[in-house]
Structure 1
Amino acid sequence: MTGKPARDPRVIALRNFAISITALNVLGYTVLGFEQAPLWPVAAVLTAYLTELVLEVVGARAEERAPRFTGRGVRGVVEFLYPAHITALAVNMLLYVNDRILVTLFGVIVAISGKWLLRAPVNGRLRHFMNPSNFGISVVLLLFPWVSIAPPYQFTEYLSGWTDWVLVVVIVSLGTLLNGKLTGRMWLIGSWLLVFVAQAVLRGLVLDTSIPAALGTMTGVAFVLFTNYMVTDPGTTPSRPASQVAFGAGVAVVYGVLTGASVVYGLFFATAIVCLVRGAFLWSLHLSRRDRQERAVSAATRTAPLVAEVPTPASTDRVPQGAAARA
């Protein structure tokens, strides 16, 4: 049978995500009320493209292979740049740096570079384990204390009444379709939401935090975007259901600890910490597996005979009849 080859669901997910975040930025500057300058997302995207292409060329030369964006024409280049496109728009959309665009561009470069600098072996190949946009945002927040997250009201500044809820419903619906059909991260989302509720109630009981206020965080557009498009990044989260549950619950627990300790921007730092722990875990699995293999080889070498027995040729066991007669 002949037909078109099946499309990679990861590529389809990236394409849909890129379209969604682009549409959100267009609406943000025309309808919602984004605070950043309108040309900044363009500068961020171009910076991400350049950084991604340069690092890919350098990496391909070091690994003696062809760059991944070659061989399939324009389509191959476009599909290769989907992650960079998403990362750039996310970093610019979620950071507020006043009028210092260079700080935003620095965050974009850090986010893209982290995919090359922070990698762990997964199924025999190195893969990045830090959520790119979250990593770039976290580094900027740590290095520049005067920087803040974009004000949450920017997502609904020019909306009122029932239109506020329509936006949330649209984001949740599209995010559920994306994660349910393509990324398969619904286990992660479920555990993240359930444990988030649990930590909010626990903080209210132990730390005298307002439980309704802690739970009210879940109704904001920023939280909905984080849940559907940030914490579920398929490239830096596990695929198995049990591992997804552990990852989502881990982010919620770390968030509760950070927020209970009065650490701001807990969502981003919690995600970065859990991604870092997962990367260390992947490296520990790889090293322990390699150590077991080396011990097995060493044990096999020690138990193997040093000199193999050489069988005696049959011709030396008997004297030829002619030679016996002569004797």
Structure 2
Amino acid sequence: MRSPTSDRHDISCWVLTDGKAGDETQCLGVVEALGLEPEIRRVAPRAPFAWLMPRGPIDPREAPDRPGSPIAPPFPDLLIASGRRAIPYVRAVKRASAGRTFTVILKDPRTGPTAADLIWVPDHDRLRGPNVVATLTAPHRISARRLAEARTALDPRIAALPRPRVAVLVGGDSRHHRFSAADQARLLDGLHDLAACGNALAITASRRTPASLLEVLRGLADGPDRFLWDGRGDNPYLALLAGADAILVTADSANMIGEAAATGAPVMVFEPSGGHPKIRSYLDALAAHGAVRPFSGRLEAHAYQPLDSTPEIARAIQAALDRHRAAA
């Protein structure tokens, strides 16, 4: 179970992104592991400034001394940021605070290791340096504590499904993957095979899921012992993971795969068309840990230690922040 890495409550903290859910969620996962209460700050640079990021300047309209600025003082002790558009604002806060704010960037900032006091990247990224922390999986909010709480009072929509339950996490088209018509048919056939073997299906789609694939998933969910969350009503994502005996996840989302691997449930990965060497390296490393296997159309049980890199990242941040404050 995660626990705060410090008993102190005197650390002020910002989470800084351009509002992208994935970036903000990673930041919040780390902040929660640190035991801090953050202020959420979101930048919204205009063109042409947004085009020049991460190397260019901030939008002058959002400078610290401008009304309504997302980086208006008082500046925090700790700033955790993610996303290309946030990088210039991290630099701006560091300058405006005269170096007092300790800055952290999650994911490669594309401007080198000097972009922040500490940078986290996944193992399959190349960026390295004395201030760079690399882990197998990305930070997230699926902690052992939250999973245990969700299991204690499982969402009725999931609890109503008989066991074994398979959580099906469906992403969509991305920079490196495309769900072709053949991929969609292959996924649907595999899901029918799972259901035919007596497995209940708890399915969630994403904003990127192609409309044609979402339509066939709706049709599949009309059968018995099946549930689909298609964006309407409360998102039962945590309950899907907490209540799953196994998890099927599509390979287009490294974040979803990492979150699935935090549960300790067997994880099966469906790979649509495309791919990338970094994704291949990531999946191979997870397979070596015993966490994932390719989806073959049937339920495959395999045991492994749940993977959650978030506490490790939080500990690295806390240690570096302590050194920074001691030297101030």
Q: TM-score range by the shorter chain?
A: under 0.3
Structure showing the higher helix proportion among its residues: 1
Larger radius of gyration: 1
TM-score by length of 2: 0.28
Structure showing the higher strand proportion among its residues: 2
